[in-house]
Structures are given as structure tokens and as C-alpha cells.
Structure 1
């Protein structure tokens, strides 16, 4: 993992004190020596390596990629009409043609590749920054009493609340779509 050092005193001190676990990523790629740690030299990028004593993880240190063969995937599923109707209502997208249905099936087929991944012994990730402390700043009000000004920016308000616009596609009810389904290619 590469960390860009912003030339701040705190990060420089951190990079200097890490010793052999932090390597200068310059043209030569030489490691930081004790002489370099004593100098005031600025480093632009450091690679953080982890000691094997810290964790014995089943996650590989280097990313690997293996293509997934078609025979490893579960068989393609036929999407029932009820599920298509529900997806249309939730996503406000019309799948009621061959192109839309083909796109949906390709997306499901792409996601099926996740079933092939071996996750035995791998704990779920809580955060992408698991090994760092995430500090939150205190909320400090810089400006205030501007609710009336903000509400004037909205097109629709009800009792001092913003009103969200309706969905992008008004979908007809299932009974109304029955007539359309008779004439479609679905």
C-alpha cells in the first residue's frame, strides 16, 4: 500500500521512525538508513510493509487475477416476470424489452463470478482502513440560522421540509401493463 506523504512534520516523523519497514520509493529504491532518518530529507512516497509476526493472514500480499471459466459459474437463471416487475418498481427502470432484459441477465451473470471466490477463513471487512485509527472532528457550527435561506432554494417545500421530486419513470400498474405485454417481445 502506498501512502503519499504531505511533507507535514507528523508524517515525516512517522516515516523516519518506522525504520526498515518503510522504503523510499525513489529512482534507486534504496531503503531508509539511519543516516537518512537523521536528515531533514523529504520523502514523497513510502511503501508500508507488514511483518509476518503481526498477522498470519490467508489473504495474499499481492493481488492475483484468474479468469473464471464458464463451467465454474452456476447455470444461468430465467428471471421470472414477478421479479422483473418488482425490480422495475424499485429501480424505476423499464426492463420490458429484449435489450433491457439482456442487460439485466448479463449483470446477474457477471455477479455470479462472486460465487466462485473462496472466502473460507477470511473475516468480513469492517472498513477499508482497518489498520488505521479514524479520528472524527468535533462538530463546530461556523454559520447558523440560515434555514429560511436554504428552504428558498428548493422548488417544493412542505412545512419547512424539502420535498423530493418523483421518480424518473411513472410505471403503470401490472394490470395496465398486461395489454402491453401481449404485444411485446418478452
Structure 2
């Protein structure tokens, strides 16, 4: 999904608000517990410029509008591609508005073609300057295939049977 304000900002091809659509994670000390496992969520805190900590992530947004003449020609989505996307993504683009929205999203993403990445090393993580802890990779449960198969609505031999999806042409 993309930012709705980006779709209507075709003149400058940028969101009207720099933080549009960005979700905030809980603070570092907050944890989420799922099935007995505790996970810490990391958030980015803006550090002062004189801090010894330096990050490759900019302290402020570095957004510059891209001129229309720098972008590749607008992408037109063919009806065949719409049909294929509807089958694969199980999303209905049946209306002209849906196709227009998809084309505007592609146009917004076309700005990535203009970015000069010469000499920029790929990042493993946006938090690559911090040590991120993982839990131990130990098996805590197992040998429950029969129990799990009993939960399925349909099975054949020792396999789940999924309901049929959309028919492919």
C-alpha cells in the first residue's frame, strides 16, 4: 500500500506531509509478548548533532522533488496485466479508479530510477550501527503433526488441502 497523498501529488511527485503513512513503534523499553516470547521493539531517537553516535540515516528528511522530465515515461497498465495482478494479489482493480491508483503508485515509485547510488554500499539494516539481539534458535515444540492435521478442515493422507482459488485462464 502506498500513501494516498502521494497519488494526488502528481505535480511534484511527493507526499504532502513528510511523515505521511509512517507508523511509530513503541519505545525501546516496551515489549510485546506473543506465545510466551518477549520481543523488544526498537525506535529511532533523534540524537544531537554533537553526539559521538553517527548514523547513515539522515537526521532530517532529505526529500527533493524530481522534475517530470527526469522520470521515465509513465507506465500504462494493460488489461492483461490487470487481470494477472488480480489473480496473483487477490485484489480487485476492476474500476478505472483502481487502475489509475495503481498507475499513480508506479509513477511515484519511478523516482527511484533517478537516485544516484554510485559508491553507496547496500545496508543490512537501517539500524546497522546498533547491535540487534536475536533470541536463541532453539526448538521448543515439535512432533505435533498429527495434532495440527486434526485442526484442518480437509486433509489427504498427511497433507492439508487448501480450498481452490480463482480459476486461471
Q: Give the TM-score taking structure 1 as reference length.
A: 0.50
Checking the alignment, whether the CA contact within 8 Å between 1:95 and 1:101 is kept in structure 2 is yes
Q: Which residue of 1 aligns with 2:112?
A: 114
Equivalences for residues 13-162 of structure 1 within 5 A: 47=47, 49-50=51-52, 60-162=58-160
SS at match of 1:85: helix
Tell me how many residue pairs correspond in the alignment: 127
Cα 1:135–1:109 change in 2 (3 A) is same
Q: Cα distance, 1:60 vs. partner?
A: 4.6
Please identify which structure carries the higher helix content.
Answer: 1
- Runs (5+) with no aligned partner, structure 2: 1-26, 30-44
- Which structure: larger Rg? 1
Q: Cα distance, 1:69 vs. partner?
A: 3.9
Query: 1:164 pairs with 152, 162, 167, which one?
Result: 162
Checking the alignment, whether the CA contact within 8 Å between 2:87 and 2:168 is kept in structure 1 is no
- Runs (5+) with no aligned partner, structure 1: 7-44, 174-186
